[in-house]
Every structure is written in C-alpha cells, then in structure tokens.
C-alpha cells in the first residue's frame, strides 16, 4: 500500500524553550456558526448575538471545542501527524468573538521520558487582537528515533 | 425530591435551587449517556475543515490506518460526540452536562476551564458513552461577568467495549448578570 509521507518531529529534534510557529485563523461570523454545527453545540451564545450580549459578551463567541481543536492544531502543525495528545488543559480567560483574528502560539516547556514514552510539555496561548484569551498547556507523546 | 426542570433560553433544562441543594449533589453521578452517532469520518472532516487543520490523521485514510489503525477523532471533538442531535424521531436527547442539573440560582452559564486526559486514540467506527460526576460547587463568587458559582465535573468517556478513552475535568460558571 502506498502511504504518503508527512513531516514528523521526533523527540530528539525538540529543544526546550523552542517556539512553535504561530498559527492564525480568521474568526468570521460564518466560522462561529460553522463551529456550532461542527460540534453540535447549539448553546445560544455561539449563534445568537442578542443572547451573547445578555451574557455580557460583545457578540457570538467560539466554544470550548473549537478552542481545543485550535490548540491541538498549533501543536500538531509543528510536531506532525504521529503526535498523540495525552493531556490538554485550557482556561477561558476571555472570549474569541466573530470578527476577531485568532492566533495561537506555543513554546516547549520540557521534554522527558516517562513510563517508556517520550513526552513534551508545551505552553500554548490563544488570543485575539486584544491579547490572550485562552492560556493552555499540552503534553504530547512523540515518536523517538531510538524506537 | 426533584424539582421540575425550567425551560431556559440556554437550550439546557437548567435546574434552579439554592447553594445548599447544589452542595448536596457533590458526588452524584449521571447515568450513562450514549452518543447518537458513531465516531465517523464525515463529521471528523467537517470539524477539521472548520479549523483548517490539515493533519492527515483526519484526511488521509491510508496514512491514518498505518499510523493509528484508522482515521481518528481530533481530540478536540471528544465532547462533540456526546452532544445530542438537534432532533431525532424518539425525541431530543440531553447534553452530557451534569453541571446543568446542579440546582443553583444563576440563569446562564459559561465554560471556564477544561482539563482532558486522553488514554488512547479514538477511532472512526467506535461509539462513545460518558458518565459525568459532580466534583465540587463553590460558594457564591463575584466575577467580571456576574455573581455565581463554579461547578467542577469529571466526565469519563468510554468506547462501546467499555474501554476508557478519555477523562475530562470541567469547570463551569453558573451565574446571573
């Protein structure tokens, strides 16, 4: 079977404190609606601007599952598709709204072996034009060149 | 005694009550909720498209089969698989959010933080279920958004064979403006 090859970062390639490439995503109104559909999350704060405003929000905002997927994408865009997300913690400090451009950036905190697995801790920050919205930390399992 | 659920514009049948009643729910577990759908490739592709995520684990079946055994669910879709379809012939299901069933005064809610541990890849074709447990409810706190209570729940996700695939610790703010 022919399998296309994709770039993968191995445990040995990773440097502590190295920065991950920044990822950007335009958060149009359409994308926020798409988010509700893609995650089956019809909480009105994610599709009804009037309801979002009664919650003290500017307008409709992205949901947890979208931010989680974006955090994971920042990691796997950098590390490659053989990466297993083992843990992810994220905090919603502020919302990401329709009309924003969202960024995601990250930095390697630590690399270590544990229980025979090669782990990397990464600090992630998701934000918009006004600054940080969602600080996160992710632990991934990476393949090793030494098996 | 259970109070009748009150319809809320949140779309959830939020339960209303006092902090004392809420505290009495600490340790309560939900019944097992089953996903309406199998983990499936079309929904995986739609979610990956939404995030413009090119990871071939979601798009390239040959690659994904060789790497993971099949196309896998993006980790961020974990909770999505348990969200009820907007309609089905037997009536709409309930969202797998025990936090909405904790009786409190607040008329709305917002998610605060989520910590997820993934035990194994979630593969296309699996059918997930979840049990949720109330771990903590804080006394009333004043925040930028309003006054309310923080509810911590711990959800355990399993596949159809009963193997635990992930655990989610979620903090939600139930508040009034």
CATH of the domain at B158: 3.10.129.10
Q: Is residue A44 part of a domain?
A: yes
Average pLDDT over chain A reads 95
Q: Is residue A1 part of a domain?
A: no
- The ipTM of this complex is 0.96
Q: Is residue B62 part of a domain?
A: no
* The pLDDT of residue B96: 66
Q: Count the domains in chain B.
A: 1
Q: What is the pLDDT of residues B74-91, one digit of tens each?
A: 999 999 999 989 888 987
Of A25, A55, A86, which has the smallest distance from its Cβ to B108's Cβ?
A: A55
Q: Is residue B54 part of a domain?
A: no
Number of H helices, E strands in chain B: 4, 6
Q: Is residue B118 part of a domain?
A: yes
Pick the closest to residue B54 from A30, A85, A72 (CA basis).
A72
Interchain CB distance below 8 Å, A39 and B55:
no
Mean pLDDT of B119-145: 96
Q: Is residue B160 part of a domain?
A: yes
Mean pLDDT of A48-58: 93
Give the integer Cα–Cα distance in Å for A16 and A3. 31
| Domain extent for B126 | 19-38+87-176
- Would an 8 Å CB–CB cutoff place A112 in contact with chain B? no
User: Under a CB-based contact definition with an 8 Å cutoff, are residues A71 and A137 in contact?
Assistant: no
> What is the phi/psi pair of residue A101, to 5°?
-110, 125
User: Under a CB-based contact definition with an 8 Å cutoff, are residues A95 and A62 in contact?
Assistant: yes
Of B86, B113, B177, which has the smallest distance from its Cβ to A56's Cβ?
A: B177
pLDDT at residue A3 greater than cutoff 70: no
With residue B23 as reference, give the H or E element that holds it: helix B19-23
Burial A9-42 (b: 16+ CB within 10 A, else e): bebeebeeeeebeebebebeeebbebbbebbbbb
Say which DSSP state B79 is in.
Answer: T
pLDDT at residue B6 greater than cutoff 50: no
What is the CA angle A18-A112-A5, rounded to 5? 65
Interchain CB distance below 8 Å, B47 and A90:
no
Q: Is residue A116 part of a domain?
A: yes
Interchain CB distance below 8 Å, A81 and B43:
no
- Would an 8 Å CB–CB cutoff place A35 in contact with chain B? yes
Write the DSSP assignment of A28-77 as a string of letters. -HHHHHHHHHHHT---GGGT-HHHHHHTT-SS-B--HHHHHHHHHHHHHH
Separation in Å, CA A139 to CA A84, A109, A122, A123, B77: 9, 10, 6, 9, 17
User: Under a CB-based contact definition with an 8 Å cutoff, are residues B30 and B94 in contact?
Assistant: no
pTM of the prediction? 0.92
Q: Cβ of B120: how many Cβ atoms within 10 Å? A: 13
Please give the share of chain B, as a percent, with pLDDT higher than 90. Answer: 77
Q: What is the pLDDT of residues A73-96, one digit of tens each?
A: 999 999 999 999 999 999 999 999
Q: Cβ of A147: how many Cβ atoms within 10 Å? A: 4
Give the integer Cα–Cα distance in Å for A91 and A103. 15
Question: pLDDT band at residue A55, thresholds of 50, 70 and 90?
Answer: confident
Q: Is residue B147 part of a domain?
A: yes
Q: Is residue A59 part of a domain?
A: yes
Q: Count the domains in chain A.
A: 1
Q: Is residue B32 part of a domain?
A: yes
pLDDT at residue B10 greater than cutoff 90: no
| Domain extent for A23 | 11-141
Interchain CB distance below 8 Å, B53 and A39:
no
Residue A49 sits in a domain whose CATH number is 3.10.129.10
Q: Is residue B1 part of a domain?
A: no
Q: Which residues of A, range 46-65, sit inside 8 Å of B by Cβ?
A: 51, 54-56, 63-65
Interchain CB distance below 8 Å, A76 and B47:
no
Say which DSSP state B46 is in.
Answer: H
Separation in Å, CA B36 to CA B123, B138, B159: 16, 33, 13
Q: Is residue B45 part of a domain?
A: no
């Amino acid at each position: 079977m022919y399998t296309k090859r994709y770039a993968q970062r191995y445990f040995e390639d990773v440097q502590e404190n190295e920065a991950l490439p920044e990822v950007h995503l335009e958060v149009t109104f359409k994308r926020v609606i798409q988010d509700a559909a893609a995650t089956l999350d019809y909480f009105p704060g994610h599709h009804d601007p009037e309801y979002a405003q009664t919650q003290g929000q500017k307008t409709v905002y992205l949901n947890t599952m979208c931010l989680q997927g974006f955090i994971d994408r920042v990691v796997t865009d950098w590390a490659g598709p053989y990466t297993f997300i083992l843990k992810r913690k994220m905090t919603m400090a502020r919302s990401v709204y329709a009309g924003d451009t969202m960024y995601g950036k990250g930095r390697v905190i630590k690399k270590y072996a544990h229980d025979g697995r090669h782990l990397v801790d990464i600090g992630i920050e998701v934000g918009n034009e006004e600054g940080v919205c969602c600080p996160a930390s992710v632990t991934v399992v990476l393949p090793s060149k030494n098996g | 005694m259970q109070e009748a659920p009150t319809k809320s514009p949140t779309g959830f049948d939020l339960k209303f009550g006092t902090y004392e009643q809420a505290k009495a729910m600490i340790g309560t577990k939900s019944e097992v909720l089953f996903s309406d759908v199998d983990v499936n490739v079309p929904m995986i592709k739609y979610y990956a498209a939404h995030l413009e995520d090119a990871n071939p684990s979601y798009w390239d079946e040959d690659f994904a089969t060789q790497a993971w055994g099949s196309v896998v669910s993006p980790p961020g879709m974990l909770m999505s698989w348990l969200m009820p379809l907007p309609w089905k012939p037997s009536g709409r299901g309930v969202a797998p959010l025990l936090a909405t069933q904790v009786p409190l005064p607040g008329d709305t809610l917002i998610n605060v933080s989520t910590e997820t541990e993934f035990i194994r890849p979630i593969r296309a074709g699996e059918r997930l279920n979840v049990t949720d447990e109330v771990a903590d409810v804080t006394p009333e706190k004043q925040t930028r958004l309003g006054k309310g209570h923080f509810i911590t729940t711990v959800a355990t996700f399993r596949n159809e064979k009963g193997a635990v695939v992930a655990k989610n610790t979620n903090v939600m703010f139930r508040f009034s403006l």
